[in-house]
Amino acid sequence: MTPEPVVSAKGISKTFGKRGVTALQDIDLEVRPGEFISLIGPSGCGKSTLLRVVGDLVEPSTGEILVNGKTAHRARLDRDYGIVFQAAVLYDWRTVTKNIALPLELLGWSRARRAERVGEMLKLVELEGFEKHYPWQLSGGMQQRVSIARALSFSPALLLMDEPFGALDEMTRERMNAELLRIWAETGSTVIFVTHSISEAVYLSTRVVVMSPRPGRITSVIPIELPQPRTFETREDPRFFELVTEVREALHAGGVE
């Protein structure tokens, strides 16, 4: 028996504005528990919109979307997912500790319980010793780690990530990729990850969903059966390069010039 999908999208379309820009057309996607799914495609292909539809931050024009077997709206009200944006979106007036604790405050956790969880999260993202720092005192990579810790603090089963490492330099990005995989393995959560980097998508994912623009649609889904856990050697595996080529060709076949 297959487990209940975490996300189940059927015939999702999204049209913006009066002139009817079609951001998404006929999206069917099922995400199973524990999967790491990357949405890849050029800008304008609707990958961020699709992520926001899953998070009930954008309402689809047509189609049905279920998250953990409930409507996306219900799932949002139940705080079923954590979200990480390209910018860290930390609150400047809150210390690292208080930024991570924000969702826990909203959930009404006691002070002691919050402090305990924040301690665990700081350890998970390796930011111990930075509790009292303000966001502007941290590097871009550290800020994004705080943002990930905040998204994971209330243990959502689903993590939505919208190009979280897009603004980081190549070195930091690779380190963050490795950390994300470690966190994913430790927490056993399901991840939907938006990126425009082919190698990042192949390195991280269990499946890569290739999208194309005008109108935004899914053109192919490529399973990445590279062995787990992925390490720095994974990037040198001949199979890794074959898969990178496969994703690149799928992107070109989808009409990316």
Partner 1 sequence: MSTIAPSASPLVERDATRKARQWGPALLVFGIGLATWQWLLPALGVERYLLPALSDVLEAFWDARTELLRGGWITFKEAFGGFVLGCSVAFVFALVLARWRPLGNALMPYMIAANAVPIVAFAPITNAWFGTLSPWSKVVIAAVLCFFPVLVNTLRGLTSVRPESLELMRSYAAPQRVVFQRVRIPNSLPFLFSALKIASVLAMIGAVVGDYFGGSTEALGVQIVSSVSVAQYERAWAAILVASLIGIAFYAVVALAERVVLSWHPAIRAGVE
| Residue window 128-147: x/- pattern of binding to partner 1, with contact defined by CB under 8 A | ------x-x-----------
By CB under 8 A, name the one of 28, 59, 79, 228 that touches partner 1.
79
**4-63 binders of partner 1 (CB under 8 A):** 52, 55, 57
CB count within 10 Å of CB 76 equals 17
- 167 lies in the binding site for partner 1 (CB under 8 A): no
Least distance between partner 1 and beta carbon 60 (Å): 16
Measure CA 58 to chain center: 16
- 244 lies in the binding site for partner 1 (CB under 8 A): no
- 226 lies in the binding site for partner 1 (CB under 8 A): no
Per rule CB under 8 A, count of chain residues that contact partner 1? 22
Contact 229, 179 (CB under 8 A): no
**Which strand (E) or helix (H) includes residue 37?**
strand 36-40
By CB under 8 A, name the one of 36, 81, 130, 240 that touches partner 1.
81
- 103 lies in the binding site for partner 1 (CB under 8 A): yes
Where does this chain touch partner 1 (CB under 8 A) — which range of 22-30, 87-95, 138-146, 202-210?
A: 87-95
DSSP alpha helix (H) spans, 30-161: 47-54, 72-77, 96-106, 111-124, 140-152
Nearer to partner 1, 51 or 218 (CB): 51
- 76 lies in the binding site for partner 1 (CB under 8 A): yes
Percent of the chain that is helix, strand, coil (3-state, to 5)? 40, 25, 35
Q: Which amino acid belongs to residue 48?
A: S
Nearer to partner 1, 91 or 241 (CB): 91
- 89 lies in the binding site for partner 1 (CB under 8 A): yes
**Sequence-ordered list of residues with C-beta below 8 angstroms from that of 128, at least 6 positions apart, any chain:** 122
Q: To 10 degrees, what angle do helices 96-106 and 111-124 make?
A: 130
Nearer to partner 1, 158 or 202 (CB): 158
- 94 lies in the binding site for partner 1 (CB under 8 A): yes
- C-alpha–C-alpha distance, residues 108 and 256, integer Å: 47
**Sheet arrangement for strand 21-31:** 21-31, 7-16, 62-67, 70-71
Q: Which residues bind partner 1 (CB under 8 A)?
A: 52, 55, 57, 76-77, 79, 81-83, 85, 87, 89, 91-95, 102-103, 106, 134, 136
